[in-house]
Amino acid sequence: MNTPLTRVDRLATAIGLKRGQLWVKRDDLTGLTAGGNKARKLEYLVAEALEQRADVLVTTGAAQSNHVRATAAAARTVGLDCVAVLSTLGAQHEPEGNLVLDDLFDVSVVWTGPAEREQTLAETAAALAGAGRSPYAIPLGGTNALGARGYVHAAEEVAAVLPDAVVACAVGTGGTAAGLIVGLGDHDRVLGIDVAAVPGLDERIPDVIAGCAAAMELPAPRGDWHPDTRYSHIPYGQPFDAVADAIRITAKTTGLVLDPVYTGRAMAGLIERARAGELPDAPIVFLHSGGLPALFTARYRDWFSLPAAL
C-alpha cells in the first residue's frame, strides 16, 4: 500500500515551521474499516497466519484498542474468526467507539486486567488449540520483527519523495517507530512521541529493530532507541489540554482529524518541539496513524461543544 503524502502549509506556519516543511503521511487511509497503522503490520502477520493454516486470530489490547478492531477486520476480510483479550480497569464496557466495531465483526471477547494481558493471551490461544481450533496469536499492537516490516516499506515511500525527511509518530507498543527506524536507517530520523501505552519499551524495541533489520537483510540503523518521553508521566489515554489543542489546530488548518490517544498526543509533542525551535531544518513528516473511533467515546465528551451562532 502507498498512502498519500500531503503538504500542510497552514498547519506549519501556525506552529512555527516554514511553508513546505511539514507534511502528513496519510496512514489513516490504509483501509480495514477506520484505517490506521495496524493495517501495514497485519499485512505480514495475517499472511503468516494463512500460511500456517490458522482458522482464528487471537490478539490483545485495551478496551478501545485500534489494533484489535483492525485485526478483527483483517480476520473477516480473509475468512478467519477473531478472539480478543481486552483489558479494562473497571467493570463497565460501554458500547461505544471501537467496541461497537468489534461487535459488528462478531469478535469473541475475553476480559482481563492490564497486567494479565500477555498471560491471558497465551492461555486463550492454548485453550482454542485444545478445543481443536488452529489459532494464530498476534502480540499487543502487532509489534514484533515481522509486523514492523510494514513500516520499513512506509519509510521507503516517504524517502522516495522526501529523501532527507524526519518522521514524527506516536509510540504505543513501538512497532511502527521500529519499522520506520529500520527503513530510514537512522534512529535520529524518527521522532517518536511515547503515549504511555506500555512499560518496558527500552528493553523490547531495540530487539524488534535488530530482528527486523536482520530478517530483511538491512544494515543495523545508526544510533540508539530514544523516544520522546515528555508525556510519559501522563497516564495512557488521559485527556489533557495540549492534546485537545493539537487536535483542534490540526482540524482547523488541514481538515484532518486526529485521535485523543495516539496521534493527538504525538501532534502535541511535535507542536511543543516546533514552537521551542527543537526540530531540525529538514522536511518533517507527521505519520497520521488513525485511531478516530476513540474520539467518539464518553471519556472525551467534555472537549466538544458547538459554538454560538454569530
User: What's the count of helices (H) and strands (E) in the chain, helices before strands?
Assistant: 10, 9
Tens of pLDDT, residue by residue over 168-213, are 999 999 999 999 999 999 999 999 999 999 999 999 999 999 999 9
Residue 309 has pLDDT above 80, yes or no: no
Burial of 106 (0-12, 13-18, 19+ CB in 10 A): exposed
| pLDDT at 307 (0 to 100) | 74
Kind and range of the H or E element at 191?
Answer: strand 190-194
Q: What global pTM score does this model have?
A: 0.96
| pLDDT at 92 (0 to 100) | 57
Sheet holding 135-137, edge to edge: 108-112, 81-87, 56-62, 135-137
For residues 15 and 1, what is the distance between their CA atoms, to the nearest angstrom?
30
pLDDT classification of 159: cutoffs 50, 70, 90: very high
* Per-residue cell: 114: 492490564
Residue 112 has pLDDT above 90, yes or no: yes
Check if 65 is active-site. Answer: yes
* Per-residue cell: 156: 521507503
Supply the mean pLDDT for the chain.
96
C-alpha triplet 167, 246, 148: angle, nearest 5°: 30
Q: Which domains does the chain have, with CATH numbers?
A: 5-35+146-303 (3.40.50.1100), 53-141 (3.40.50.1100)
Task: Let me know: does 66 contact 291? Beta carbons within 8 Å.
Answer: yes
Burial of 217 (0-12, 13-18, 19+ CB in 10 A): exposed
Contacts of 281 (CB under 8 A, 6+ apart): none
Tens of pLDDT, residue by residue over 17-55, are 999 999 999 999 998 888 999 999 999 999 999 999 999
